[in-house]
Structure 1
Amino acid sequence: MLSGRGRPAAGFTVIELMVTITVLALLLMAVAPSVGAWIANTQIRNAATSIQMGLQRARSEALRRNAPVRFTLVSLTNAAVMDDSCVPSDTGVSWVVSLDDPTGECGTAPSDTAAPRIVETHAGGVGGGRFTVAATTSGGDEASSVTFNGFGRVVGTDGIGVIDIDHVEPGADYRALRLIIGLGGTVRMCDPAVTSADDPRKC
């Protein structure tokens, strides 16, 4: 087709269009793995941050109330819905901050009087994150809860001391994170893959 001045009209030929689509497809295939890893690492980071905030909330409530407050990891029938199907679990992705044992009562509204006197809850399955949680005592035994006393310190030695958060399919592209709860009540996030003693991310 000629333009008004006798030159071919500007536009793409079928071959040019096919070449462009092929190049774009190759570029998308090249970046897809890194985008997938970035999304997975973001989910791991968000999960670790949420759990860390839950632990800090339990400790601050214990200090505010001058009374024991517990943080409990729980499993739910539907990980995206906090309800009374909750069971304490060392691999639970959801959590509850309460004054009493929340087993079977996680759907109760926050209250200072109604058992289990819930302070805050969080359903870890919201958003469909593909991550795993593994909680142990400082000695390596399975643990699902930790209690802070009125001084903000950890009660006993059988509570959670370490929480590892990783992708459901561990691999070199995924950055696992670890939360360490000190006896004094401090909660620190670190990276178990870091080995340099000078790196503050080292566990």
Structure 2
Amino acid sequence: MLDAAVEGFARYGYRAASMDDIAEAAGVSKPLVYQYLKSKEELFTACIQREAAALVAAVRASTEDGAGWVSADRRLWNGLCAFFAHTAAHPHGWVVLHQQARTQGEPFAREVAVLRTEITDLVTSLIGKAARDAGCADDVLAEREVSGLAHALVGAAESLADWANSRQEDAPSAKETAATLMNFCWAGLENLMKGARWTPGR
């Protein structure tokens, strides 16, 4: 039922998606849908929560360092690969999260904000660890700047996922998309951690 709902909301949007069509696609009766979920709003919320939990779980699992020796940049790479692999494998879920839920106001936008906070906190911790591993002092890369960099990286990843999923004939692989973002951000992060900052020319 949730699979059919996610696809319906992704294809037609929250407003236009019909409970009748979702029930038919799921092969169940409309009263059965309402027996489990009392309204379209509740069904949409359940879809958002399920898709968000699956995405966070995929990214978290890929960035775990049980052995305690995986470098922060490698963990970030693993996380990006998992993020792009998941969004490519679940394009309807990604549309629901990134395009539908964010544009429908509360309470849906709040659910997506929770997802984004979890991902951003994880990336913040990875960048912070990378800075510490590189011996970067607090006066070189402040906590506020680490947080800002994490937000920028997450925003770029979201935009790249949209771009990658929109390319039907020559869609890049998850690793290719992750490499695009790593090449864009990591060289700059390495220089930043060494105190080599960009300054505007005259």
TM tier, shorter chain? under 0.3
TM-score, normalised by the number of residues in structure 1? 0.22
Looking at CA atoms only, which structure, 1 or 2, has the larger radius of gyration?
A: 1
Q: TM-score, normalised by structure 2?
A: 0.22
Higher RCO by CA contacts (8 Å cutoff, separation 6 or greater): 2
Q: Would you tell me which structure has more helix in proportion to its own residues?
A: 2
Bigger strand fraction: 1
